[in-house]
Structure 1
Amino acid sequence: MSESHYKSIESIQKNMKLIIKELNEHNSDVKEIVQMSIYSKMMETQQEYNEYENAIKELEEMIEGKENLLTIHKNSIKLLTEILLQYQNEINYLEQKENDEKEYYNTFIDKLIEIEETKKNNEISTIEQKYSNIKNEFELKKKQIINNLNTKEEEGNDKKENVNERKSIEINEKEVTQPIEVPNVINTNSIQKDIDQLIEIEENYDMYDETKFTGSVTTIIPPQFAQSSCKVVEPPHSLNKLPINQKEKVIHINPQNIKQTEEQFEGINYIENWCGLKNHLILFDSSLPNGNSNETFVSSILNHSNIVVLVFDSLGSVFGGYMNKPIQTTDSLITDSNHFLFSLKKKNHLQPIQILPKKDKLVGMYIHSTNKNELCYFGDENYGWLSIQKTTIPKSVCCSLNMVYEVDNSMINGSDGEGFLIDRIVVLEMS
């Protein structure tokens, strides 16, 4: 190969290197442009991604807020439903109470009417029997006179002797309230007139007016009760009302003047331990006169503190409540943080128990000044209470006590929402 050929080859190689160098430089610029473009696209994509992420986050926060609001509304609806249910239960209780009272008073009135009708029927029967006896005696006297007349006529006695004999007839003054003149000649038509006269006298006579009665009392016992061991009870004498000092309306009763059995006050030592007071004075006792009067109940306990209301029901249970606060008002709830209920005696109960209110409940005692059935109640007027009715009303009740006290309804006396009758109510003042 010639030298020229070598030079040509070298020249070509040199040119190739230059071309390769230029290509490399050109590729570097293209690569940089491509990288810049890719980076720009990546930045735009990252920005869009961040925007989408922020939008999703805001949407999630909005959804969470809506869920919280929905939960609040659900809780509000649930609370309103419970309140409405409580009001409905109270309305149902009041309606049932009203119906029971109507039924009780209707039965009571029907019984009174029946008693009065029986009483009047017995009186009418007595009067009819009395006049029947008088009539029979008149008939008997009449027959005697006729027989005597016939006898005298047969014997030839004169008319004057017969008239004197007829005048000698005596009428029993114990059976006839006014004297009846016997005529010379007996007319049978006058018998009915005399009976009508006696009936008129009887109608004008008030057998129940004791101020006009001076004779002896004859007690009429129906034949069906003739063999009974029951005794006739005399009606009570009227009581003279003593004037009351206006400055002192509280009635104090000496405990020694009231007959109390050991059983009635069994468990009083538990109450002394619970309230921390050892002495007691009786302020009120329903077994005394006017024991079912709201006025007597209120005047006995007003302005007194540390009172204990003892209740003795017809089932033999003994229970009640304690108030530390002074009783200074009526017809409104007196709340007391030291108030509690108790049960001293109950079937299937081993020992007395103290019943405390729930910590979040304000409870106490409500005293009626004019209620015809209820003297007072313990608890809360809207949620749960122990109603203490008068001893003639069988509607005392433990209603929803578990809502305001740490207790089950049946723990007081086992009634568990059913009405019961109270035999006696005693109020003590502890000191």
Structure 2
Amino acid sequence: MKKLERISENILYIFLISICCFKGLINSFGGLFVLTSGILIYKLPNRKEFFQKYKYELIFTGIYLIGCILEIFSVDGLSKSYKFLYKNFYFLMIPGLLYFYEKEKIEKRAIYLICFSLLIGIFESFRQFYTIYGLHYESWIRVESFFDIGRWGSTLKMVLLLILPMLRKNIFLWGVFVLGCVSLILNNSRGPWLAFICCLIIYVFGYLLCYKKKIKIVLGSGLIFLGLIFSMKTFYPEQINKINIRLQSSRNLENNYSNLGRTFMWKENLLFLKDSLKDNKRAFFFGVGFENRDTIGNYITQKESWKNASSSLKGAVSFTDAHNIYIHTFVRKGVIYGFLFWGYMCFYMLKKLKEKEFLEDDIILGSLLSTLGFFICGIVYSNVFTFDTFVFFTIFILGVNYRKITNK
């Protein structure tokens, strides 16, 4: 039992080191962790007590298993249902993560390993900025890392928000945070920018100022930030102007085809849901399938709105991505799974907020900020069923109050 626990723990460490940078290792060691931790938990003498202790968190794994069954009845059917099974197996990691994270030493070690993994990704993004763009910033550049542009921005934002509350007590994390912010700027993804800024405002003004009454810290941070902005505008006015142009572009619905494409996809996917209730009940209740392109594509291309659309707009539209996590879930997985997953997620988050434990625990608070950032970013990204969802659930489970549960 001890040997198996040690093996599973080491596999977890390798998984955490790879979580922000190596897709192949995420899959292979994530799968190994599911296997070894699953056997470990099955052999626990107090297995029933474990399941009772973490019943609310383990319901997410149950919803995933229901989703695997529902996928069989989707428009894609049984032949392609395996894609949802293997691309979402992070739900099966939840029991193992719960088991190991309740050990405070492993929980803290996990945070440092996630930060180390992020650093690897950050240095790769700097390398690409140097080799591809010659260290020259423009408002149109998109610097990625080992993950593609959107996934890298989403990953950066989640880890930076996780460590944000810990910066007051940990100097080492400041280095990761500053370098991560630079990489996030170079990434130029407006969704992660928006989510990060919103959560940063909530943390500074809602938590530090209103709850903790840390007026000196807020004022000091504000003066440093204003000084930094003033210095940048004085010595690097062109770069600041380019960043501002990128931010302002998020409101452009006249000739910005990235924005126009998103609004088009939102509208057409919502209309598809509405029409499928009458014309395609299988798609409505069980979804079109995990990677089904034809059903949505045929629906959109037959409409006048598509025939009259410009080639630039058509180039910005995807038939496999709604560019909204909530709409995407309902269209791909159907309303049964959509209401099950998002309904329970809302219930769970409200339950955590009512407990108010996050107000006194930096790890729980960081996990909640990261979760909120994921939800905000999901308004403009379909950041679900992808590699950054592994990062999300790994951080999400860090937010469980293990000390309180263990002491009950």
Please state which band the TM-score falls in when normalised by the shorter chain: under 0.3
More strand per residue: 1
- Answer with 1 or 2: which has the greater Rg: 1
Structure with a larger share of its residues in helix: 2
TM-score, scaled relative to structure 2: 0.21
Q: Report which structure shows greater RCO (CA 8 Å, sep ≥6).
A: 2
Q: What TM-score does the superposition give when structure 1 sets the normalisation length?
A: 0.20
